[in-house]
Amino acid sequence: MTAVRGLAAMSKGAAFVTHDFARRDVGAHDVLIDIAFAGICHSDIHQVREEWGPALFPMVPGHEIAGVVRSVGSSVTKFAVGDHIGVGVFIDSCRKCEPCKAGLEQYCNEGMTGTYNTLERDGVTVAMGGYSNVFVVNEDYAVKIPKSLPLDGVAPLLCAGITLYSPLKHWNAGPGKKVAVMGLGGLGHMGVKFAHALGAHVTVLSHSPSKREDALAMGADEFIAVADPKDLKAYGRTFDLILNTVSAQIDINAYLATLKIDGTLVVIGLPGAPYPVHVGSLLDGRKSLAGSMIGGIAQTQEMIDFSAKHSIVSDVEVISADYVDTAYERTVASDVKYRFVIDASTI
């Protein structure tokens, strides 16, 4: 077994403590990673606080992992010692179903195997995530990171990045398209950068007026401060595509009114409780309400390569292990600029 030091919540909502545990030995198809940085995703917070239902404790969260390959199994072909490598939200899937074969492993018919807070496919091992110093993963579920990208800024691409890149590509964001991003947090700021790089006209819809300058610097063409849904009245039928990254429950109906005819609002934020939708908002304009969840391995690699080509990384605040509890509080308060990333050497 491989000895690991991580940061764990021992029970629901508990403060983080150092936690020693073991990972499996490096198998023939596995890669051993020295983790350099792990991003803090709001999904980590939802799960530690059991906002999505009962969770497994002790929990070592973290699914935005960037590091360096320390060793490889005997059959590994994709990676060599010293390569930069990334691991995201899942570490396995059935590999046999239609979605898996189509590169949509995140939608595996048997369910993807999450990076933490789940049992691995053996049905016994509790998956432990990236708030730790060492990781072992099957090479098919990791991506290559070009050395031109800094590992701290690249870590959040493994979840926040792909989660916005995938729907932007699926709904053809590009020149001539008006894209709005709801919420300028970890996910939202990556959406702005990618939509801008794809050539779309980008508007940020935010409840934090202080983020205006940052949004424009990231590539947004417009910034609309939304203190109240009625602030959107002037923007009826404006957007082709809206990506909702808001982590809290909000009134979605006022936003649907800002879609053009045939426009789509994609739900990405997952507060955990249902919210009402007036279907009349969809009928009037043949609008679609859709959802999207991260992206497959091939598209994650495509997103990383796109980021290298366009010099895109996340705006990060690198923190040490003792700051994670504070980082959670600040993230929930929408006070994150724009992703907290844990320096794994401090664990």
**Contact with Zn ion (CB under 5 A) among 100, 137, 257, 265:** 100
Site for Zn ion in 134-163 (CB under 5 A): 159
If we measure between CA atoms, which residue out of 223, 210, 177, 163 comes closest to residue 337?
A: 210
Query: How is residue 228 written in tokens?
Result: 């109240």
Residue 97's binding partner out of ligand NAP, Zn ion, none, with CB under 5 to 8 Å set by partner kind: Zn ion
Q: Would you count residue 293 as binding ligand NAP (CB under 6 A)?
A: yes
Query: How is residue 47 written in tokens?
Result: 């799960």
Between 153 and 183, name the residue whose CB sits nearer to ligand NAP.
183
Question: Of 75-83, 111-119, 292-300, 320-328, which segment contacts ligand NAP by CB under 6 A?
Answer: 292-300
CA 183, CA 169: separation in Å to the nearest integer? 19
Between 18 and 210, name the residue whose CB sits nearer to ligand NAP.
210
The helix or strand, by DSSP H or E, that contains position 44, with its residue range, turns out to be: helix 42-48
Binding mask 32-71 toward Zn ion (x if CB under 5 A, else -) reads: ---------x-x----------------------------
CA 59, CA 7: separation in Å to the nearest integer? 8
Q: Would you count residue 250 as binding ligand NAP (CB under 6 A)?
A: yes
Q: Would you count residue 94 as binding Zn ion (CB under 5 A)?
A: yes
Residue 94's binding partner out of ligand NAP, Zn ion, none, with CB under 5 to 8 Å set by partner kind: Zn ion
Q: How far is the CB of 268 from ligand NAP (least distance, A)?
A: 4
Q: How far is the CB of 138 from Zn ion (least distance, A)?
A: 14
How would you class 124 by CB atoms within 10 Å of its CB: exposed for 0-12, middle for 13-18, buried for 19 or more? exposed
Terminal CA-CA length for the chain: 20
Question: Of 95-103, 186-194, 251-259, 305-313, which segment contacts ligand NAP by CB under 6 A?
Answer: 186-194
Distance of CA 245 to the CA centre of its chain: 10
Query: How is residue 85 written in tokens?
Result: 């490598």
DSSP state of 129: -
Residue 8's binding partner out of Zn ion, ligand NAP, none, with CB under 5 to 8 Å set by partner kind: none
Q: Would you count residue 113 as binding ligand NAP (CB under 6 A)?
A: no
Cite the beta strand spans of 194-295 per DSSP E. Answer: 201-206, 222-225, 239-244, 259-267, 288-291
Question: Of 15-23, 97-105, 246-254, 280-288, which segment contacts ligand NAP by CB under 6 A?
Answer: 246-254
Query: How is residue 203 written in tokens?
Result: 């508007």
Q: Would you count residue 270 as binding Zn ion (CB under 5 A)?
A: no
Please give the angle made by the CA atoms of 263, 268 and 274, to the nearest 5 degrees.
95
Q: Would you count residue 334 as binding ligand NAP (CB under 6 A)?
A: yes
Q: Would you count residue 42 as binding ligand NAP (CB under 6 A)?
A: yes
CA 195, CA 192: separation in Å to the nearest integer? 5
CA 240, CA 234: separation in Å to the nearest integer? 16
Q: Would you count residue 43 as binding ligand NAP (CB under 6 A)?
A: yes
CA 235, CA 258: separation in Å to the nearest integer? 5
Residue 187's binding partner out of Zn ion, ligand NAP, none, with CB under 5 to 8 Å set by partner kind: ligand NAP
If we measure between CA atoms, which residue out of 217, 237, 154, 220 comes closest to residue 182?
A: 220
Residue 108's binding partner out of ligand NAP, Zn ion, none, with CB under 5 to 8 Å set by partner kind: Zn ion
Q: Would you count residue 247 as binding ligand NAP (CB under 6 A)?
A: yes
The torsion angles phi and psi of 327, rounded to 5 degrees, stand at -60, -40
Q: What is the largest CA-CA distance in the chain?
A: 61
Q: How far is the CB of 168 from ligand NAP (least distance, A)?
A: 13
Q: Would you count residue 108 as binding Zn ion (CB under 5 A)?
A: yes
If we measure between CA atoms, which residue out of 129, 102, 67 comes closest to residue 295?
A: 102
Binding site for Zn ion (CB under 5 A): 41, 43, 93-94, 97, 100, 108, 159
Binding site for ligand NAP (CB under 6 A): 41-43, 46, 159-160, 163, 183-188, 206-208, 211, 245-248, 250, 268-271, 292-294, 331, 334, 336
